[in-house]
Each structure stands twice: as structure tokens, then as C-alpha cells.
Amino acid sequence: MSTPLSRTSPDVAGVETPTVFTTPAALSAYDHPASAWNRLALATPQPDPFCATTAWQLSWREAADPERPLVVRECSDGLVQFARHTLGSKNVLGPVERLWMFGCNVLGPAGVDLLEQLIRDPAMEAAGLGRRIGISGLDPQGPLLAAIRSRLSPYGEFRRFGRGLQCAAALEGGLDGFLSRRSANHRKKLRQAIRRGQAVGIGFERHTPGSADEAAAVFARMLAVERRSWKGIAGRGMDGPMTRIFYGSMLRRLAMARAGRVMFATHEGRDIGYIFGGMAGEIYRGQQFSFDEVWRDMSIGNLLQYEQLAWLCEEGAHGYDMGPLTGPFMEYKEHWTEIRLPIEAWILV
């Protein structure tokens, strides 16, 4: 079994004891594309690998929980990461991103070993954390959940507290292969939308920001479109206080490895729509798209999806993850995807 990297600090008597919470300096060492956190996130089978990376997890923390203490334990082939939360009167370790809980926080072949070591650590008990711990982003039929349930059974009751359904599309066979797996009606409507768009002169721009400045400039254009979309007009857009930081930080982190993929729909030099996501290895994870409400009748959303798929197929991407299938306004994903990925969160109590 691998041994986690130890971090120690002197206690009041001058004797060194394990540090429970990860320092900001230590956390910053994980905040780059080649870090152990990101390497193991992409190597761990799970329904939503992108959301286990720092581009998602640390961007959430930056936007919503910048002061919340984190616990990160690492070894050569495993990593676990948790945030401290409060449930009633008790402290709990749970996912860093705590709203959707898409990403897994037990990573790598030795992740379960590290998890058990964390539960058994006397310093955790001393910090008032004990054995209350939540794990997200789990495949209900996968080997990781089975291994965690087996390993944690001596420590308490391990039970499910959240479930959902993700969706994805394979890109095998390129764009033609992807379209062959869509319904005839969907393909017909898409061809009609493409012809209408070409007739009025709609164009498309591809962007892969490679620096913080480039990411900020692209994101400013995205926000300008968002404010003219139905979401922005209704006050539900990506330009809200928290979501603006979350997605802006995500694009900045993706820019470190040119892993962001942003497409703009344009007309006569003006942005009228965008679609945005990022690469997790060979898998693209969609994030947001919006279009100017004035263009609602031109199927801008469908045109952006099509053009993004064409781009991804040209690059040789293996799949297109579209995130949650259930929930408000998610029905359109039925037409674009054929893979269903159940996802669950569990807690030891």
C-alpha cells in the first residue's frame, strides 16, 4: 500500500503532528494541468472526469468557497480531496464542489487506501471531523464504489445521498458517424438550420485561449452575448456574481494547456452566440452556450452544437460529455446524445 505524503506542523508542546488542512501554498502546487490531481482525475474511471479536475473543482472554490479549508492527501498513484462542511452541528468532509457534485474526490489506484488512512488518522478525530465523509461523482455500477463500500463498512453506515443522470455522445466515425447516430428528424432539422444560417451570412470563429489575458478577452465576449440572451435578460445567465467568477476562472485554468474550446457565431462582425467547454484528455465536456435573443428563430444553439462537433471531430476527440440530462431545460440533450451515465454521491455516517 502506498504511503501518503506527510505534512507536519509543531503542536503547542513542540512535537510535530500531522496537519489536517492543506495550506494555500501546498494547494497551489496542484493548480496546473500536469499536477497529480489532474493526472489522476483523467486516469480514474468515472462518469464525469472533467469535473474531477482542478479546472472545475478549484474554480468552484474560487467562486463560492474561497476560505473553506481543504484536505488533500496524495501518494504516487492516488489522491483524495475534500472540503470541510457543516451538517447540523457536526463537521463533515465532503466534495470541494458541493452544488452538483459531479466530480469524484477519490482518485487513482491507491485512492481507496488513502481514504481509509484519512478516516483512521487521529488528527482528523482531534479536528472534530471523525468519520463523517462524503464522496461524489461515483458510477453506481463501477468498481470504485464497490471497493469504497467494502473498505468503509467497518467504520459506519455508508449510504447514498444523491443521484443523477449524465449524458454523452461518442465521436467514433467522425462527424458522419456522430450524425448517423442521430434521428432522421434531427438530421433533417439540422440541415435546414444550416441552410438558413448560410443564407443570411452567419459565420463561426474558433478560439483556444493560451494565456490568462486571452482567456479574459474571450470571456468578455461571451458575457456580452450572455447579457443579450434569454438567460441574461431573466437574470439567470453566466454573468451572475458567482457564475461569472466560476466560468471565468475555469477558462483561465484551461488556458494553461490550451484545453478550452470556445466557438462564436457571428453576423456582420457582431457576436450573436457562443458555445464553451473544455477538454479532459480526449473527451470534451460542454459547459455553456447562449445566443442573442434577437436571433431566437435561427436555431443558433443547434448551429453552434454542430460546428463545435465538427471542430472536435477534426481534432480527433473521442467523446462529447454534455453533463446532466435531468433538470430544467435539459431535454434538448436527448437529441444530441446516446450514452447514459448514472452518477451518485455517498456518505459515511
- CATH number of the structural domain spanning residue 35: 3.40.630
Distance between CA 285 and CA 89 in Å, rounded? 37
The reply to whether 23 and 151 lie within a common domain is yes
Q: What is the pLDDT of residues 277-316, one digit of tens each?
A: 999 999 999 999 999 999 999 999 999 999 999 999 999 9
Give the per-residue pLDDT at 88. 78
The reply to whether 154 and 210 lie within a common domain is no
Pairing of strands 283-291, 133-138: unpaired
In a domain, 341, yes or no: no
Give the per-residue pLDDT at 19. 67
Q: At what angle do helices 241-255 and 54-64 cross, to 10 degrees?
A: 150
Q: Which of 138, 165, 192 is the last residue of a domain?
A: 165
The reply to whether 13 and 158 lie within a common domain is yes
In a domain, 54, yes or no: yes
Q: Which of 165, 195, 218 is the last residue of a domain?
A: 165
In a domain, 194, yes or no: yes
Give the per-residue pLDDT at 91. 86
The reply to whether 152 and 176 lie within a common domain is no
The reply to whether 196 and 296 lie within a common domain is yes
Query: All 3 cell numbers of residue 26?
Result: 501546498
Give the per-residue pLDDT at 74. 96
Task: Inform me whether the pLDDT recorded for 12 exceeds 70.
Answer: no
Q: Which of 148, 165, 182 is the last residue of a domain?
A: 165
Pair 45, 54: CB distance under 8 Å:
no
Q: What is the pLDDT of residues 67-89, one digit of tens each?
A: 999 999 999 999 999 999 987 77
Distance between CA 47 and CA 340 in Å, rounded? 9
Query: All 3 cell numbers of residue 226?
Result: 450572455
Work out the average pLDDT over 192-219. Answer: 98
Give the per-residue pLDDT at 57. 98
The reply to whether 161 and 30 lie within a common domain is yes
- Give the domain range for residue 275: 172-317
- CATH for 280: 3.40.630.30
Give the per-residue pLDDT at 9. 35
Work out the average pLDDT over 333-349. Answer: 96
The reply to whether 309 and 254 lie within a common domain is yes
- Which of 266, 292, 296 minimizes the C-alpha distance to 203? 266
Distance between CA 18 and CA 187 in Å, rounded? 59
Task: Inform me whether the pLDDT recorded for 201 exceeds 90.
Answer: yes
In a domain, 348, yes or no: no
Pair 76, 115: CB distance under 8 Å:
no
In a domain, 150, yes or no: yes
The reply to whether 160 and 176 lie within a common domain is no
Task: Inform me whether the pLDDT recorded for 6 exceeds 70.
Answer: no
The reply to whether 148 and 184 lie within a common domain is no
Give the per-residue pLDDT at 337. 98
Average pLDDT, rounded, for the chain: 92
The reply to whether 105 and 206 lie within a common domain is no
pTM for the whole thing?
Answer: 0.93
Q: What is the pLDDT of residues 217-267, one digit of tens each?
A: 999 999 999 999 999 999 999 999 999 999 999 999 999 999 999 999 999
Per-residue pLDDT band for 128 (boundaries 50, 70, 90) equals: confident
Task: Inform me whether the pLDDT recorded for 3 exceeds 80.
Answer: no
Task: Inform me whether the pLDDT recorded for 99 exceeds 70.
Answer: yes
Q: What angle do CA 51, 312, 44 make, to 5 degrees?
A: 30
The reply to whether 155 and 191 lie within a common domain is no
Total structural domains in the chain?
A: 2
In a domain, 340, yes or no: no
The reply to whether 157 and 279 lie within a common domain is no
